[in-house]
Amino acid sequence: MSAAGYLSVSTPLRLSVGGTTVALPILAVEALNDVAVGGLLAAACLAPSILAAPFVGALLDRTTRPRGVIALAGLVTALGTLLATFLGEIPILVVVIGVIAAGATTPFFMGGLSSFATEEITNERRAYALDALSYNLGSVAGPAVVAAASAFGSARVAVVAMAVAAALGSAGTALTSLRPRASTGSVSIWSSIRAGLRHIVRWRPIAVVTAAGTLSQVGGGALAVAAVVFAVERAGTADQGAIIVTAFAIGGLVGALAIAVRPIRMRPEWAMGTGFAATGVLSMIAAVDLGLWWTTLLIGVSGLFTASSSAALLLLRKQQSSPDVRSQVFTVGAGLRATAAAVGAAIAGVVAGVGGAWLIVGVGAVWVASGALMLAYPRGIRPLDP
């Protein structure tokens, strides 16, 4: 399968996830004029994926038909998302159940699909550079499609578009050649989960990568709040905060495009650590009061380095996991990062009184600390799966 083929499967699925979390609150306001329901639906979409991650990973590690399982997950996501378009017309409990079902299946392609990337693209550095690009495309294009659909149509149209994207990704799996990995049929799924979690905690390379990757997302999640507080202080409006966050996302996308064309040759543990550190240092410099243009520019440039660090993180997950627990390493790692982003946003909200500049400095410090954690990565360790 070509690189374009892999992106045609992974990107629509991830675009659907990135856009749906934005579209559901807008739909709740449009259909019910109720912000609280929007928050409930967003939580119903996100929380199940965190809880389901170990089970999804174990299932993918055990299944003899990974292609069919991922296709089914995409279809469930599409149907659950589509059900949300009936908000206000059917009982809200039915809508919540549909959204929960969609959220519970997202680890299949927000983590799980990545564990099969090198089966579709044989050059592993290029495979994970493209996988990082897929995540970035989804995170940028998803909200952009929702914004356009909501502006020129309605929030219902936006949610339908996200359901269609998930369905297209599901259908695209027919073009893949995903193959089952190690046979664990004689072991219970609970034993598989225990083995996967034990590997994540006890195998030092994966433990370090997981800890650093998770901590980095505390900073990533806090940035949106920090940017808004900073913008309100400097310009008296929150709009510029959205522009700062968009600059960061665009920087990440540009960086992902660059490494997709020319993958980083540095050792992945160093690429991950230096990428995190560079993002952090630039973020802290961005807090210097030289005008909003300066902050926006530096935050955008800091986003460039997130692509190389993300690609290196994905590569290290693959290299330092055996086939029988690989999908769990990916899905649990992705779930922890999603949780950390939520925690980061919550912390930033609680300490917002310290001021926008100090919040941005704090965001940068978290990224630097994440890079410093990679110094604990064992030197000279050989890949379990070269």
- At residue 375, the pLDDT reads 95
Q: Is 115 part of any domain?
A: yes
End position of a domain, from candidates 147, 181, 215: 181
Q: What is the full DSSP assignment across 170-231?
A: HHHGGG------S--TTS-HHHHHHHHHHHHHHSHHHHHHHHHHHHHHHHHHHHHHHHHHHH
Helix (H) or strand (E) holding 257: helix 239-261
Count of other CB atoms within 10 angstroms of residue 125: 18
Tokens of 35: 């912000």
Mean pLDDT of the chain: 86
140 and 279 share a domain? no
Element (DSSP H or E) covering residue 239: helix 239-261
pLDDT at 182: 60
| 186 in any annotated domain | no
Q: Kindly state whether residues 177 and 216 are assigned to the same domain.
A: no
> Given this model, what pLDDT does residue 220 score?
85
Per the CB < 8 A criterion, the answer to whether 260 and 253 are in contact is: no
* 169 and 262 within one domain: no
Q: Which domain holds residue 368?
A: 201-376
> What are the pLDDT digits (tens) for 116-132?
888 778 888 888 989 88
Residues of the chain with pLDDT under 70: 1-2, 35, 182-186, 237-239, 385-386
Assess whether 235 and 142 both reside in one domain: no
Statement to judge: residues 224 and 348 lie in one domain? yes
- Residue 381: inside a domain, yes or no? no
Q: Are residues 21 and 86 in the same domain?
A: yes
> What is the number of domains present in the chain?
2
As given in the structure block, the two tokens for residue 374 are 């990679």
In a domain? residue 188: no
pTM, rounded to two decimals: 0.87
Task: Give the per-residue pLDDT at 62.
Answer: 86
Q: What residues have CB less than 8 Å from 320, skipping those under 6 apart?
A: 203, 205, 206, 209, 329, 381, 383, 384, 385
Q: What is the pLDDT of residues 56-76, one digit of tens each?
A: 998 998 888 888 899 999 999
Same-domain check for residues 66 and 157: yes
Within a domain: residue 195?
no
Per-residue exposure over 301-329, b if at least 16 CB sit within 10 Å of its own CB, e if not: bbbbbbbbbbbbbbbbbbbbbbebbbbbb
Last residue of a domain, one of 148, 181, 214: 181
pLDDT reported for residue 351? 82
State phi, psi for 182 to the nearest 5 degrees.
-60, 145
Q: What is the CATH number of the domain that holds 8?
A: 1.20.1250.20
Q: In the 8-state DSSP scheme, what is residue 384?
A: S
Residues 276 and 163 in one domain: no
Whether residue 172 sits in one domain with residue 234: no
**Residue 373 pLDDT:** 95
Residues 106 and 237 in one domain: no
Residue 63 inside a domain? The answer is yes
Residues 243 and 303 occupy one common structural domain: yes
Final residue before a domain boundary, out of 120, 151, 181: 181
Tokens of 235: 């310009």
**212 and 126, same structural domain?**
no
Q: What Cα–Cα distance (Å) separates residue 124 from each residue in 58, 82, 121, 260, 316?
A: 23, 35, 7, 12, 10
Report angle CA 128, 134, 135 to the nearest 5 degrees: 95
Asked, for residue 354, whether it belongs to a domain, the answer is: yes
Report if residue 194 sits inside a domain: no
Q: Determine the pLDDT at residue 185.
A: 58
d(Cα 5, Cα 266) in Å, to the nearest integer?
27
